[in-house]
A and B are shown apart, each in its own frame.
Chain A
Amino acid sequence: MAAQAPSAPRKLFREEAQTGAINCPACGGPIELHGFGAVEQVNCPYCGSELAPEDSGDLQVVQAAQRARRESALPLHARCTLQGDNGPEDYEVIGIMWRECRVDGVVYPWQEFLLYNPYLGYRYLMFTMTDGSWALGQTLDGAPQLETGFGHRKVTFAKEKYKHFQTSVAIVSYVEGEFPWQVRVGDQAVAHDFIKPPISMSIEEAATEDGQDVNFTKMRHIDGAEVWKAFKLPGQPPRTSGVAMIQPNPYKKGRAITWILLAVMLVAWLVAAIAYVDGRSNKVVFSETGQTVTDTISQEIEIGTKGELTTLEFDFKASGLSNAWAYAEVMLISQDTEKAVGFGATAEEWHGVSGGESWREGDQSPTVTVGKVPGGTYLLQIAPSAGQQGSAANTPPTNLRMAYTLRENVVLGRYIVLPFFIILGFPIFFWLLARIYEGRRWSNSDYVSSSS
Chain B
Amino acid sequence: MQEQPQTHCPNCGAPAPFRGTAVSLVCEYCNSTIVRRGVDITLIGQVSALVDNGSPIILGSRGRFKGTPFEVAGRLQVAYGRGSWNEWFVNFADGTTGWLADAQGQFAITRPKNQQVVAGRVPPYANIAVNSTIVIDGIPAVVVDRRAATYKGAEGILPFEAEPGMLFHGVDLRGHKGEFFSLDYGTNPNHNSPIPYLGEAIKLADVGLHPLRQFKGWRRPAPPAAAGRAPGA
User: Which residues of A are at the interface with B, using a C-beta cutoff of 8 A?
Assistant: 2-6, 9-19, 34-40, 55, 84, 86-87, 89-90, 116-122, 139-145, 156-157, 180-182, 203, 205, 208-216
Contacts and interface: CB of A to CB of B under 8 A. Distances in A.
Nearest to A179: B83
Interface string B124-138: 000000110000000
A143 B106 CA distance: 14
B53 interface: yes
A35 B13 contact: no
Given A9-B28, A36-B54, A157 B176 contact: yes
A14 B106 contact: no
Interface SS of chain A: loop
Interface string B1-44: 00000000111111000000000000011100000000000000
Contacts of A86: 205, 232-233
Pairs A-B, 5 closest by C-beta atoms: A121-B105, A38-B54, A211-B147, A37-B52, A141-B201
A223 B108 CA distance: 32
B81 A19 contact: no
A87 B80 contact: no
Contacts of B105: 38, 116, 120-122, 139, 180
B212 A119 contact: yes
A210 B213 CA distance: 31
A223 B7 CA distance: 61
18 contacts: A4-B12, A5-B12, A6-B14, A17-B214, A17-B215, A18-B216, A35-B54, A36-B54, A37-B52, A40-B83, A84-B233, A118-B54, A121-B104, A142-B178, A145-B176, A156-B176, A182-B81, A211-B147
Nearest to A116: B105
A117 B215 CA distance: 10
A213 B147 contact: yes
B215 A118 contact: yes
B177 interface: yes
Contacts of B145: 211, 213-214
Contacts of A9: 14, 28-29
Given A3-B12, A118-B215, A210 B28 contact: no
Contacts of B30: 3
Interface string B197-222: 00001111100000011111111110
A212 B104 contact: no
Given A36-B215, A84-B233, A14 B82 contact: no
B87 interface: no
In this complex, the member of B81, B108, B176, B215 whose beta carbon has the largest number of chain A beta carbons within 10 angstroms is B215
A351 to B, nearest CB: 76
A37 B52 CA distance: 5
A120 B55 CA distance: 11
In this complex, the member of B149, B179, B217 whose beta carbon has the largest number of chain A beta carbons within 10 angstroms is B217
B213 A182 contact: no
Contacts, number: 176
In this complex, the member of B51, B54, B140, B202 whose beta carbon has the largest number of chain A beta carbons within 10 angstroms is B54
A182 B201 contact: no
Given A35-B54, A211-B147, A181 B29 contact: no
Contacts of B142: 143-144, 214
A12 B77 CA distance: 14
B11 A2 contact: yes
Interface of B: 9-14, 28-30, 49-56, 58-59, 80-84, 104-106, 108, 130-131, 140-149, 155, 173-180, 201-205, 212-221, 232-233
Given A37-B53, A141-B174, 5 more contacts: A18-B216, A84-B233, A86-B232, A214-B143, A216-B144
Given A86-B232, A143-B141, A210-B147, A39 B54 contact: yes
A213 B173 CA distance: 10
A51 to B, nearest CB: 15
B54 A12 contact: no
A16 B130 CA distance: 38
B177 A142 contact: yes
A142 B53 contact: no
A18 B205 CA distance: 23
B215 A16 contact: yes
Nearest to B131: A214
B221 A214 contact: no
A11 B59 contact: yes
A436 B147 CA distance: 47
Given A14-B58, A141-B201, A3 B13 contact: yes
Contact of A212 (B80, B106, B130, B176): B130
Contacts of A37: 51-55
A156 B142 CA distance: 13
A187 B107 CA distance: 26
Contact of A210 (B59, B81, B155, B173): B81
B33 to A, nearest CB: 15
Contacts of B50: 12
Contacts of B203: 141
B155 to A, nearest CB: 6
A139 B83 CA distance: 17
A410 to B, nearest CB: 67
Contact of B144 (A180, A182, A214): A214
B30 to A, nearest CB: 7
B146 A211 contact: yes
Nearest to B177: A142
A86 B208 CA distance: 13
B102 to A, nearest CB: 10
Contacts of A35: 54
